[in-house]
């Protein structure tokens, strides 16, 4: 369709976000496009009420936006309201929302520890999510415990439908089936896959691997993109080549791989039975690909744009810091975010390290103290400390 005589409208999956600078965010593809104020002025007028020829003569920009799925040309008026969501500084881009502490598994390594009955009420979960969207949020990470045991999950997903955020369900993959997949109105499902059959079941329990792979296939058949997260442990060290083949087979969007941190269940047992020395584990992180969401940026260490909310409504830096509350997100997510302390890279003890710009300081929780080097990242980049 020729755009000039057509009515131009911002596509449903495109959103205007003013973070540190203006962006267009495509929730369907998880793409962030930097734009200037002139583009903002133009795109806010693309509300399905006006023909393209009356809005601009910049054919190159319009055609690019149509090709990228940012704009859609329509043969008849189809009005919609367009707003630009404003972020505080720094921007809160990624919110990990723990709906419940309940879980149907008892994994050896769980950083949250034993399953507990605490849950976030549906109304609070919806309110916090709407606040996140209004603050210019990008990726909503729906987590637990196991979110599939949260009874109100279908209602929650229905309530937040239409918000200009990407909804990602984090799951162990044991509770998805052909009956409930239609209720999972999300943009992506991220599965925990901690090895091939032997390694995965060694960590998570007999029969879990088969259920997880079956759920992956159900999700793909339903047209929901999939991604994966893997922890390196003693039971999966020889299984990464087979897992990589599987990632290719299912066209996984991303594969996040990390080294275990001694927290939760690992504190309650002899963790040496599960964990792997950093020098042995670090090379396996090279199998990972994709963006990830909790990296550093703009001269700061990890967590610059990330926060988590626990099932009791308390906001924390991330799930590892679950006992260090930033406030009650049910009252004001923004106020909680503005109390967050952000660590600059030039404050770290390793600020003179030649690979600091690549490493970005690694995980602050895994480091011996807040300004110390992350020993796992030192091994990954071959730094002898």
- Which of 50, 67, 86 is at the close of a domain? 86
Do 170 and 279 lie in one domain? The reply is yes
Do 40 and 172 lie in one domain? The reply is no
335 lies in a domain? Answer: yes
| pLDDT tops 90 at residue 179 | yes
Q: How confident is the model at residue 262 (pLDDT cuts 50, 70, 90)?
A: confident
Do 175 and 319 lie in one domain? The reply is yes
2 lies in a domain? Answer: no
Q: What CATH number is associated with residue 289?
A: 3.20.20.70
- Which of 30, 54, 86 is at the close of a domain? 86
Range(s) of the domain holding residue 15: 7-86
- Which of 86, 105, 124 is at the close of a domain? 86
Count of domains for the chain: 3
314 lies in a domain? Answer: yes
Do 364 and 233 lie in one domain? The reply is no
| Mean pLDDT within 300-311 | 94
Do 209 and 266 lie in one domain? The reply is yes
| pLDDT tops 90 at residue 293 | no
pLDDT tens figures, 21-70: 999 999 999 999 999 999 999 999 999 999 999 999 999 999 999 999 99
Predicted local confidence at residue 114, as pLDDT = 75
Do 307 and 289 lie in one domain? The reply is yes
1 lies in a domain? Answer: no
Do 210 and 283 lie in one domain? The reply is yes
Burial class (CB in 10 A: 0-12, 13-18, 19+), 2: exposed
Average pLDDT, the chain: 93
């Amino acid at each position: 369709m020729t755009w000039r005589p057509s009515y131009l409208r911002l596509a449903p999956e495109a959103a205007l976000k003013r973070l540190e600078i203006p962006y267009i965010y495509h929730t369907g593809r998880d793409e962030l496009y930097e734009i200037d104020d002139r583009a903002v002025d133009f795109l806010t007028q693309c509300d399905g009420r006006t023909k393209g020829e009356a809005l601009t003569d910049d054919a190159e920009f319009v055609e690019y936006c149509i090709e990228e799925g940012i704009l859609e040309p329509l043969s008849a008026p189809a009005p919609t309201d367009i707003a630009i969501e404003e972020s505080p500084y720094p921007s809160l881009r990624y919110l990990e929302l723990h709906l419940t502490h309940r879980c149907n598994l008892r994994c050896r390594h769980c950083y949250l520890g034993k399953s507990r009955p605490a849950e976030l009420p549906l109304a609070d979960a919806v309110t916090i999510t709407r606040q996140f969207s209004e603050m210019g949020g990008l990726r909503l990470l729906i987590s637990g415990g196991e979110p599939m045991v949260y009874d109100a999950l279908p209602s929650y997903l229905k309530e937040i439908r239409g918000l200009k955020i990407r909804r990602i369900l984090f799951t162990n993959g044991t509770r998805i089936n052909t009956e409930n997949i239609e209720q999972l109105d999300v943009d992506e499902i991220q599965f925990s896959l901690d090895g091939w059959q032997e390694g995965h079941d060694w960590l998570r329990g007999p029969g879990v691997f088969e259920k997880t792979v079956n759920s992956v296939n159900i999700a793909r058949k339903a047209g929901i993109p999939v991604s994966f997260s893997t922890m390196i442990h003693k039971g999966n060290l020889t299984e990464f080549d087979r897992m990589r083949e599987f990632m290719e087979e299912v066209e996984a969007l991303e594969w996040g791989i990390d080294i275990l941190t001694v927290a939760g269940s690992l504190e309650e047992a002899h963790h040496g039975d599960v964990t792997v020395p950093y020098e042995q584990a670090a090379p396996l992180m090279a199998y990972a690909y994709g963006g990830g969401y909790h990296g550093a940026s703009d001269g700061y260490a990890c967590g610059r744009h990330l926060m988590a909310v626990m099932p009791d409504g308390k906001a924390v830096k991330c799930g590892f810091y679950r006992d260090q509350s930033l406030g009650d997100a049910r009252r004001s997510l923004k106020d909680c975010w503005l109390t967050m302390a952000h660590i600059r890279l030039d404050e770290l003890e390793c600020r003179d390290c030649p690979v600091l710009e690549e490493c970005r300081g690694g995980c602050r929780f895994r480091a011996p103290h807040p300004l110390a080097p992350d020993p796992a990242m030192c091994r990954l980049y071959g730094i002898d400390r």
